[in-house]
Copies of this chain bind each other. A is one copy, B any other.
Amino acid sequence: MGRVVVLGVGLTKVGEHWNKSIRDLFVEAALRAVEDAGIELSDIEAVIVGNMSSGYLQGQEHLGALMSTWLGLRGVATAKVESACASGGVAFHQAFLAVASGIYDCVLVGGVEKMTDAVTEDVISALIMADDQEYVASTGITFAGLNALVYREYMRKYGVKQEEIAYFAVHDHKYARDNPYAQYPFEVSLEQVLASPLVADPIRLLESSPISDGAAAVVLCSLEKAKSIKSEGLVEVVGSAVATDILSPHEREDLTTLYATHVAAERAYKMAKVEPKDINVVEVHDAYTVLGPIHLEDLGFVKKGDGAKFVVEGNIEKDGKLPTNTFGGLKARGHPVGATGIYQIVEVVWQLRGEAGKNQVSDAEIGLAQSVGGVGSSVAVNIFRRLR
């Protein structure tokens, strides 16, 4: 296994991009990543695209060839990688494997999703395809509905109150405020969150990640290649793992813990030779507020049931014990599903490089990004370490 380095990163703003197609968004993020990497486009040997729903929402498959064409990269290897909302994190893992194998020296991996052009019913249909069409989606339940079951059970099992859980949205918005790429760069109060309309009882609108358009990209290189280009700002991928749980949550023994997070995290920690206590900055996949505390617990940062308290007590602030979602998370940065996993990675890289602006965490050396598909059905955990 060869050592793999993040050499460049690039984003589009998350939002409603009425005037940009999926190819426009992807190419914008990709060119920024290439420029940031300090390489030529022609250095790129493979393009991996994370995306969930372009076939259903845009009538477009074959995004690997589409995006490489629009980047002017004839001849490169490409693939689209899909694992529902974890598509970005899983695509990153595949790109990591490509470089780690020694067969590719330089790979561009990006995520893209364009959801706001479609009618809402189609977006809801697209999202529930993350779960089982024949046994779950066909009942008419929405993806929010599935998470509402998790929310209720989490409150019941651990005696946690909704205001403690809902605070996660307040946290996210606080950090989105100073993120120029965020879809909702403004603060919200806990009162506003709790007074917002019910989406799927008990989940409130302001506890839910939005429907978003966006693209994010990363250039991965072998350590040798990276060092031949730059001597500063290199971030190594020290751990990368994907794990899958039983697809549908109703078939699991416990709704309040995501087994796939445990497994993926354990593998990634082992590969990185670190423990949870070594992590300085984290991005978790908070598609709904309740998932924030659950992920922090399942990643090993806090005891089961104590996640919400941990958040409310200020531990995930940028000057807290475990700075988390310091660019606004899914709730406020936005959630263009196939791109989200790559957004998280870019944000972690910015923290490790000291480029996080007003949201900068002090002297972060090791960061972790967690990307989730379905209700914890697929989880990617990637761990990064700043190279001195």
Instruction: Decide if A148 is an interface residue (CB 8 Å cutoff).
Output: no
Determine whether the beta carbon of A75 is less than 8 Å from that of B374. no
Determine whether the beta carbon of B75 is less than 8 Å from that of A129. no
8 Å CB interface, A51-68 against B: 52-53, 55-56, 58-66, 68
Instruction: Decide if A40 is an interface residue (CB 8 Å cutoff).
Output: no
Among B58, B59, B125, B137, which residue has its beta carbon within 8 angstroms of that of A125?
B59
Chief secondary structure at chain A's binding surface: mixed
Determine whether the beta carbon of A65 is less than 8 Å from that of B377. yes
Contacts of A63 in B (CB 8 A): 82
Chain B nearest CB from A356 CB (Å) reads 30
**Interface segment out of the listed A100-108, A199-207, A302-310:** A100-108
Instruction: Decide if A42 is an interface residue (CB 8 Å cutoff).
Output: no
Instruction: Decide if A77 is an interface residue (CB 8 Å cutoff).
Output: yes
Instruction: Decide if A165 is an interface residue (CB 8 Å cutoff).
Output: no
Instruction: Decide if A243 is an interface residue (CB 8 Å cutoff).
Output: yes
**Within the assembled complex, what's the spacing in Å between the Cα atoms of A351 and B101?**
28
Contacts of A47 in B (CB 8 A): 244
**Within the assembled complex, what's the spacing in Å between the Cα atoms of A131 and B21?**
15
8 Å CB interface, A185-208 against B: none
Chain A contact-residue range equals: 35 or more
Contacts of A56 in B (CB 8 A): 55-56
**Within the assembled complex, what's the spacing in Å between the Cα atoms of A5 and B246?**
29
**Within the assembled complex, what's the spacing in Å between the Cα atoms of A102 and B53?**
31
Instruction: Decide if A120 is an interface residue (CB 8 Å cutoff).
Output: no
**Interface segment out of the listed A11-19, A91-99, A316-324, A326-334:** A91-99
Among B61, B130, B245, which residue has its beta carbon within 8 angstroms of that of A82?
B61
Among B76, B132, B246, B248, which residue has its beta carbon within 8 angstroms of that of A244?
B76
- Return the CB mask of A350-380 against B: 1 if under 8 Å, else 0: 0000000000000000000000011001100
**Which residue of chain B has its CB nearest to the CB of A240?**
B103
Copies in the complex: 2
Contacts of A378 in B (CB 8 A): 62, 64-65, 78
Determine whether the beta carbon of A244 is less than 8 Å from that of B84. no
Instruction: Decide if A211 is an interface residue (CB 8 Å cutoff).
Output: no
Determine whether the beta carbon of B97 is less than 8 Å from that of A101. yes
Most chain B beta-carbon neighbours within 10 Å: one of A58, A61, A68, A373? A61
Instruction: Decide if A90 is an interface residue (CB 8 Å cutoff).
Output: yes
Most chain B beta-carbon neighbours within 10 Å: one of A21, A69, A76? A69
Determine whether the beta carbon of B74 is less than 8 Å from that of A244. yes
**Which residue of chain B has its CB nearest to the CB of A48?**
B94
Determine whether the beta carbon of B129 is less than 8 Å from that of A55. yes
By Cβ-Cβ distance, the 4 closest A-B pairs, closest first, are A77-B242, A61-B129, A101-B101, A100-B101
Other A-B pairs beyond A2-B101, A62-B84, A78-B244, 19, CB < 8 Å: A52-B61, A53-B55, A55-B126, A59-B133, A60-B129, A61-B84, A62-B82, A62-B129, A62-B130, A62-B247, A64-B82, A65-B83, A75-B259, A77-B93, A79-B82, A79-B90, A94-B94, A97-B97, A101-B101
Q: Give 15 A-B contacts (CB < 8 Å), ordered by A residue.
A: A1-B103, A52-B61, A55-B129, A59-B129, A59-B137, A61-B84, A65-B244, A69-B247, A75-B243, A76-B243, A78-B90, A79-B93, A94-B98, A97-B97, A97-B98
